[in-house]
Structure 1
C-alpha cells in the first residue's frame, strides 16, 4: 500500500516509517506543504501524526490535507489524538466518554478545542482517530534525555495533592503497530491506543524518579499549586482520567507489546541515559 506519513520525524513517526517499510508498504514522508505531496504521491492511505496543537499545522491545513487525500482516492485516513483529554470521572474512559469540555482548565482549553476540530475533520473524511496516552520511548519527554525527565531530575515536578490522576501510557512502538494494524481494516471513529496497566500519579512519579536515580519528588498542597502553576498544574496531577483500550484490541486485533510503563522502561537504561529499544 502507498502510505503518506505526515509528521514522520516525531516520536511515533520515527518508529512507524521503518515498520511500514518492513512489512512492505511504500512510504512517502513529505515536507510542507503536505497537500501537494498527496497529489504527487497519490497515496492509498494518509497518516497524520501532527496533532492539532502543532503551531505549524492548523486545522485548515488538516482540512486541505484530507481533501487532497479524497481527491486522489485514498481509502484510509488515520490521525493521532490524545487519550488523556477525557472529562474527569470515575473508572477508565472508553471512547464514548465525553472529552474535557466542562470546567476545562484555562491552559488546556485551546489544546482541547484544537483536538476537537481535528477529530471532527477526520470524522468528516471517513477516517480513524487513534487516541494515544502519555507517549514514551525514544525521543519523548519521558526518555532519559527528555524534558520531563530533566525536570524530574531537577526536582521541578512536585507531587501535587494526593496525585489522584490516572495515567494511561503508550509506548511509541505500540502507537506505530496500531497504525499498521489499522491500515488494512475498515474501522472508523475513535479508538484508545493505550497500555493495559493504568497507574496513578501518586504511584508513578516517585517510581519514575527512582528509575532515573533522581531525588524524591517534593510534595505540594493542591491549593498552593493552583496559586503557583495555575489550574492545569493541579489538574494534571489530580484530574486526569485513564483510558480503556478494549475497543482497539477488539477492532484492530492489536495488543500492546509493552503492557505497562514498567515493562517499557528499563531502570538501568534510564540511569545510563539510554533507552532500550
Structure 2
C-alpha cells in the first residue's frame, strides 16, 4: 500500500475501515520460517514523517530516515524468523531503494520495481527495467499502484511492462482493494478511485498476457466475491494478506480469510505485512495469521512460507 509521496495520509479515523483494538500484541516467535511478500523500502536519506506512530499499536518509533527504517525492519524480521522479504521501492527512487535493500542483505531481500503510471510518478523507461530484470537486480514487477493513478492493470499503457514480465518470468504484484482514508484528496493521488481496486479489472490484462504470474495484494479486500472469481478462473493468480492482516479488526480479517480457505484456496494465499512506515507491523501481521484458530498447522505453513516459495520461485 502506498500512503502518499507528499506526507503522511492518516489511517483510521471516524468511520474508517482500518481499525484494531488498541494495544494488540504482536505474535511471539514460533520458530516457523516466514516469507513476507509485501514489504516497502525508502531511500536511505529520505526523511520519514515524524513522529512515526503505528496507528494500531500506538508505538512511537524513533525511526527518522529510510536507513533507520531498513535497520528496524531487519531487526523485526530476525525477531520473528522472517527469512525472506519481497520489497518494493517507496517514495523517491522507486527502483533503487529496493535494490539497495537487496544489496544490504541479498539472502534476505528480493527487490521489486514499484511503478504507478501517473503524471506525478510516470512509468520508468522500459529499457531500464529490461536491464534490471536481465541482470537480476530486480526480480518482481511491483508493487504496481495503478489504482492511485486512476488506472487498472488492463490499461494498454501497462502492456509493454506486462509483456516484459512474461518474457523474464517475473511475477507481478498489484495493489488492489481500497486505500487509506483521504487518498484521492492528496495532491499526489487526485485520480485515485476505489473502483480501480476491484481485482476483476485485471481480467483483460491476464487474457492478453496468459503467462503472467499475478499477486493480488491486500487479498482484493473488500471485493471478496470478485477476488474468488479471479482465483477460480486464473490458476496463475495468488493473493497476499498485506495490510488487512493487521489493520482490519481481527474478526473482519479472519472472516475474510476463512472464506478463501473454505473455498479451497489455502494454497494460493501468501503472507504479507505491508508494514509501510511501521516495522512493528510485521509482528502484528504475523499474529493475524497465527491467531486464526480455523487454520490447520499445515495451512499456516503454506500461508506463511510455502505458497510464496512456489509462486515466487524462491
Q: Could you say which TM-score interval applies, normalised by the shorter chain? A: 0.3 to 0.5
TM-score, structure 1 as length reference:
0.36
TM-score, structure 2 as length reference:
0.33
Larger Rg: 1
